[in-house]
Amino acid sequence: MTRITSHEHAAFLRDTFASDQAVALIGLGKNAGKTTVLNALIHAHRNAARSLVLTSIGYDGESYDLVAGHQKPLVYLFPGMAAITAQQFLKQASIDPEILACFAGDTLFGPPVFAKAKQAGFVVIAGPSSLQDLIAIRARIREEDPGALFVVDGALGRKRGATADYADGSVLCVSAAFGAPHELAEKVEHALYAMTLPLAKAGEGTRLYGAITDRVVTSFLNETQYKQGPLVIDDRAACFISSQMRRALARRGVELKAWQGASVRALVFNPRLAGGQLAPLEPYVASLAQKTDLPLLVLDAEPAIGKAI
């Protein structure tokens, strides 16, 4: 595992997503550090040639993230960067937004609006809440600025990874608040199992459609004439099976593959505990290193601008 030091974050984030058109920031729970990474990405692209377009997945149009219980991210944008946020939040923004498009998918706070910052300032990001809307928005961004990096804060469903329908790459964010080092490592290992399922070739294996849970797999194996070969699910993000089911499949020699899926580019670790104090770093880093080779970004103790304000 390569540990990326805080002064290397900006360069790492710029380079890691160089070939991606869209990236999703996935958190395994609340306070995982997604917004901090989002801010770090913004700062990394401050003077970069590549433009940045940001949005956040909405949860039923609430101003609060209903799952995590905190407010939608308030971010600081540099001139030229763009965001997709609800009309009401754009109204409060201090970026002198230049509106480029307004999308369908009305929420309590108005439709998602695509706007570019004409001046530096703050904006609350609360984007669409449906996959269809997100896909349409991504297509519009490609039209508007083919070279832009589209960053989606959050995924559709807390425990769901990013689907390849809207993201090419993803970053998994975790926090010391999720458990002791070995517990966190186990959770990360299980999340990464789904997020890194091998991709199937055309015509390979038996296709399973929709969300894949323990019950779906059990009924499929019991009720069909399945004999051998991999089971191929729609998308890595559609895998919701438990670790027990993983073991059961392994015992039976059944391999799970995905038809498509975003690629995980890095793991982000937030050392802050629920009360705000810092956890001892090394045991966590050591435990995580045993489970994955992904580059690890440890977040600064100092919160990024925007989060502080």
Which residues in this chain contact another protein in the complex, by CB under 8 A? Answer: 43, 46, 76, 79, 87, 90-91, 94, 96-100, 102, 104, 110-111, 113, 118-121, 305, 308-309
Rounded alpha-carbon distances, angstroms, from residue 214 to 95, 155, 211: 47, 21, 10
Of residues 9 and 257, the one with the C-beta less far from another protein = 9
Tell me how far the alpha carbon of residue 169 is from its chain's centroid. Answer: 8
Alpha-carbon gap, residue 93 to 121, rounded angstroms = 7
CB of 72 to another protein, least distance (A): 17
CB atoms within 10 A of CB 159: 13
User: How far, CA to CA in Å, does 31 sit from each of 145, 160, 252, 255?
Assistant: 32, 16, 38, 34
Nearer of residues 143 and 282 to another protein, judged by Cβ = 143
Where do the H-state alpha helices sit in the chain? 9-16, 34-44, 87-91, 131-144, 181-195, 214-223, 243-252, 281-291
User: Shortest Cβ distance from residue 278 to another protein (Å)?
Assistant: 18
Minimal distance, residue 25 CB to another protein, in Å: 20
- Closer residue to another protein, CB minimum distance, 99 or 281: 99
Least distance from another protein to the Cβ atom of residue 45, Å: 12
Q: Which amino acid is at 6?
A: S
Question: How far is Cα of residue 104 from the mean position of the Cα atoms in its chain?
Answer: 23
Collapsing DSSP states into helix, strand and coil, what is residue 40? helix
Q: How far apart are CA 98 and CA 115, in angstroms?
A: 5
Burial of residue 142 (CB within 10 Å: 0-12, 13-18, 19+) is middle
Between 21 and 87, name the residue whose CB sits nearer to another protein: 87
Residue placing its CB nearer to another protein in the complex, 42 or 262: 42
Nearer to another protein, 200 or 304 (CB): 304
